[in-house]
């Protein structure tokens, strides 16, 4: 079972994020180097700007990391804890599941489930009412998008 009484200090969070962005910068530099990075007489090659951007990003991230260390003492307040994690998971996990299901069953079915889940967890409505709402909304969306605006949304195997 997940221990939900942890705490993350702002310092750690800032550090981790800056490191993450640094990695992105490194990825950008790597990607850029695979292309032409020179400046020939018709101007900079395709890789020139990505390289420049990547390098500046890396430099800025390193500076940010240094700044974070220097301000270590001021950043000891917790910024994230188990409760926040729980709250967030309550939205991230169902949404991720919904999105993962879309290629299989289209968007209307997972949307219905997502709605049902939220209503169930946050209100006191009877299951029948929840089911009614959960079906009505996707149907309304279908009418709006597929019929009126003629945009065919992903429909997976079923619909």
Q: Which residues bind another protein (CB under 8 A)?
A: 13-14, 17, 21, 24-25, 27-28, 31-32, 35-36, 39-47, 49-50, 53-54, 56-57, 60-61, 63-64, 67, 79-80, 84, 87-88, 90-92, 95-96, 98-99, 102-103, 107, 111, 114-115, 117-119, 121-123, 131, 133, 137, 141, 145, 149-154, 158
Q: Which residues contact 14 (CB under 8 A, 6 or more apart)?
A: 64, 68, 75
Question: What is the length of the chain?
Answer: 159
Closest distance to another protein from the beta carbon of 3 (Å): 19
Separation CA 63–CA 81 (nearest Å):
27
Q: 73 or 127, CB closer to another protein?
A: 127
Closest distance to another protein from the beta carbon of 53 (Å): 5
At residue 7, φ and ψ (nearest 5 deg) are -140, 140
Q: 13 or 73, CB closer to another protein?
A: 13
Closest distance to another protein from the beta carbon of 1 (Å): 21
Q: Which residues contact 78 (CB under 8 A, 6 or more apart)?
A: 7, 8, 9, 10
Structure-block tokens of residue 137: 């909304």
Q: Are 110 and 155 in contact (CB under 8 A)?
A: no
Q: 1 or 137, CB closer to another protein?
A: 137
Closest distance to another protein from the beta carbon of 7 (Å): 14
């Amino acid at each position: 079972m997940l221990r939900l009484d942890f705490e993350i200090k702002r310092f750690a969070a800032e550090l981790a994020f800056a490191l993450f962005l640094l990695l992105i910068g490194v990825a950008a530099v790597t990607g850029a180097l695979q292309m032409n990075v020179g400046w020939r007489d018709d101007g900079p090659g395709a890789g020139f700007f990505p390289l420049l951007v990547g390098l500046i990003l890396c430099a800025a991230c390193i500076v940010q990391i240094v700044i974070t260390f220097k301000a270590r003492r001021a950043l000891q307040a917790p910024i994230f804890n188990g409760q926040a994690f729980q709250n967030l998971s309550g939205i991230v996990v169902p949404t991720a599941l919904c999105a993962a299901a879309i290629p299989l069953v289209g968007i209307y079915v997972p949307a219905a489930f997502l709605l049902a889940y939220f209503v169930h967890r946050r209100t006191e409505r009877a299951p029948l009412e929840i089911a009614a709402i959960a079906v009505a909304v996707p149907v309304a969306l279908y009418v709006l998008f597929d019929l009126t605006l003629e945009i065919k949304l992903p429909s997976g195997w079923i619909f």
